[in-house]
A = this chain, B = another copy of it.
Amino acid sequence: MNEVFKALSHPTRRKVLAMLRERPMASGEIAAAFDVAWPTMTTHLTALKDAGLVTAEREGTSIRYRVNASVMEEAVAALMELMGAGKDAEATTNTVKGEKS
């Protein structure tokens, strides 16, 4: 859980998550969108992967990254617990009004 918040603490990594939310993307495609060197993006992606926030899988010639929604939900739940949502936290997290979950 610690690694999750650490991963979320960098703006670029949060933007990557926002992008991946729309659609899974390849490493190079992500790097190209961010004005950083490719190896730098690899580092960020590794941080996100180690935190469990994304998963990576080979797709032909490239490697596709996608968001791991459940870990994102856990992060939200943890934050809510921190702010006093207490026992309602997980219930509430799963009850995002119109979600395809």
A21 to B69, CA, bound (A): 27
Residues of B within 8 A of A83 (CB): 17, 21, 67, 69, 72-73, 76
Q: Is A79 an interface residue (CB 8 A)?
A: yes
Q: When the two chains form their complex, are residues B79 and A88 in contact, meaning their CB atoms are under 8 A apart?
A: no
Interface hit among A3-11, A29-37, A55-63? A3-11
Q: When the two chains form their complex, are residues A5 and B8 in contact, meaning their CB atoms are under 8 A apart?
A: yes
Interface residues of A (CB under 8 A from B): 2, 5-6, 8-9, 11, 14, 17-18, 21, 67, 69, 72-73, 75-76, 79-80, 82-85, 88, 91-92, 95-99
7 sampled A-B residue pairs with Cβ under 8 A: A2-B11, A5-B8, A8-B8, A21-B82, A69-B83, A72-B82, A88-B99
